[in-house]
Amino acid sequence: MIIRLLKERCTGCGKCVEVCPFAAIDWKDNLPVINENCRFCRKCLQVCPEKALVMEGQEVKRDTSGYRGIWFFAEQRHGRLASVSYELLQACLEMKAVLGEEVSGVILGYRIEHLAGSLISRGCDRVYMVDRPELEIFLEEPYALALTELVRQHRPGIVLASATMMGRSFIPSVAARLGTGLTADCTQLHIDPESKLLVQTRPTFGGNLMAQIICRYHRPQMATLRPKMVEEAKPVDNLQGCAVKSDISAELSSLVKLLTQKKAENLVDLQEAEIIISGGRGLGEGKNFQLLRELADLLGAAVGASRAAVDAGWIPYPHQVGQTGRTVKPKIYLACGISGAIQHLAGMRTSDFIIAINKDPEAPIFKVAHLGLVGDLFQIVPALIRKLKEIRG
């Protein structure tokens, strides 16, 4: 595709240059010249009063009519389904209400037959399982080969995965093999009631804008969804579905050979934590996180942080909560010395119970807190620690 200028029509008004959001039009000899920044958004075509700009070449359109069904990749490790699998199922069930198409889960692994039932009992119509020894331990290539072949066999219209380490690592390869697009790390997914297309919402430009992306001409429509963006699907009595043991012909080999496995130590799993104690700039310096760690140990909690604390080098990035960090939904979220900027709230505001400690009574964090303590965290947190130690003897 190219955008061509019909020189004989152009009056040199410059409107196209003004309207271009990508700085993709240079000005040479009183005429516009399209440069390599062009994203074919057509804004210049629409604004040109003389119709002097024309698009040439065909957009590649494929026949998408044979693709039906809403699929999700149900993540499992060591024979247990991850909670994100139920979140994806819930997202798919909401889409089913608009599209009226079957929801199917895909489980890859070895000796996984027992897992299908819990998806079916929560509303999944069908569960495809590829049960092979090569899939016992997660490796990107065999997982990508297996899922790609299944999609080719059944041609679903939508394939979703969670934006976890696993989903992020192998789903792009599946999309590339299928020759379709992928919107990674979405915060929201829904079906447009008119076009019936999957609308994929995700932060862009460093989190300053939310983009809505659709995949009009290729199938399946693929996206990864951030964990904790939707509730988990709940079990319902008397639901029926079927489990299908799928045969695939692909040789599930990998260039990577797994030699040994070592359990990660000190891994922060904020998304699975029931209680999170988070610290921000109000802590003053990195060593003061020790105070929060002490409280967290007493409560069996994980330690989170604002971006200000992470940027200051007080605590590593995996602890960051917010728009450019983790999205969390613990039972209790305790924010200590965190002001409550919109980007921080984006990652924690759906927590069940939010407690905020801040010495500024006007701090925005108090607008979302269920319980607010106005005061100095260096007095309140040690008092809490003392009290907990006292109670536990």
Ligand X SMILES: Cc1cc2nc3c(=O)[nH]c(=O)nc-3n(C[C@H](O)[C@H](O)[C@H](O)COP(=O)(O)OP(=O)(O)OC[C@H]3O[C@@H](n4cnc5c(N)ncnc54)[C@H](O)[C@@H]3O)c2cc1C
Interface residues toward ligand X, by CB under 6 A:
206-208, 280-282, 306-309, 320-325, 337-339, 341, 343-344, 347, 357-360, 363, 376-378
Q: With respect to ligand X, which residue has the nearer C-beta, 127 or 308?
A: 308
CA distance 119 to 235: 8
Identify the residue whose tokens are 């965290």.
Answer: 377
Kind of pairing between the strands at 198-204 and 103-109: unpaired
Measured N-to-C along each axis, helices 140-154 and 165-178 cross at an angle, to the nearest 10 degrees, of 50
Q: With respect to ligand X, which residue has the nearer C-beta, 109 or 325?
A: 325
Residue 310 has a CB neighbour count (10 Å cut-off) of: 21
Q: With respect to ligand X, which residue has the nearer C-beta, 211 or 242?
A: 211
Q: With respect to ligand X, which residue has the nearer C-beta, 215 or 377?
A: 377
CB of 52 to ligand X, least distance (A): 38
Query: Peptide bond preceding 220: is omega within 30 degrees of 0, i.e. cis?
Result: yes
CA distance 319 to 305: 6
Q: With respect to ligand X, which residue has the nearer C-beta, 177 or 281?
A: 281
Residue 169 has a CB neighbour count (10 Å cut-off) of: 14
Residues 6 or more apart from 391 whose CB is under 8 A from it?
Answer: none
CB of 321 to ligand X, least distance (A): 6
Q: With respect to ligand X, which residue has the nearer C-beta, 174 or 308?
A: 308
CB of 383 to ligand X, least distance (A): 13
Q: With respect to ligand X, which residue has the nearer C-beta, 120 or 356?
A: 356
CA distance 236 to 173: 35
Q: Is 388 helix (H, G, I), strand (E, B) or coil?
A: helix
Identify the residue whose tokens are 């152009």.
Answer: 10
Q: What is the rounded end-to-end Cα distance, in angstroms, of the chain? A: 74
CB of 214 to ligand X, least distance (A): 24
**Which residue, among 323, 297, 296, 325, has the nearest Cα to 310 in the 3D structure?**
325
CB of 276 to ligand X, least distance (A): 13
Contact predicate 14/31, CB 8 Å: no
Q: Six-digit token pair at 380?
A: 């309140």
CB of 94 to ligand X, least distance (A): 26
CB of 312 to ligand X, least distance (A): 9
205: Cα separation from own chain's centroid: 16
Q: With respect to ligand X, which residue has the nearer C-beta, 42 or 367?
A: 367
CB of 292 to ligand X, least distance (A): 12
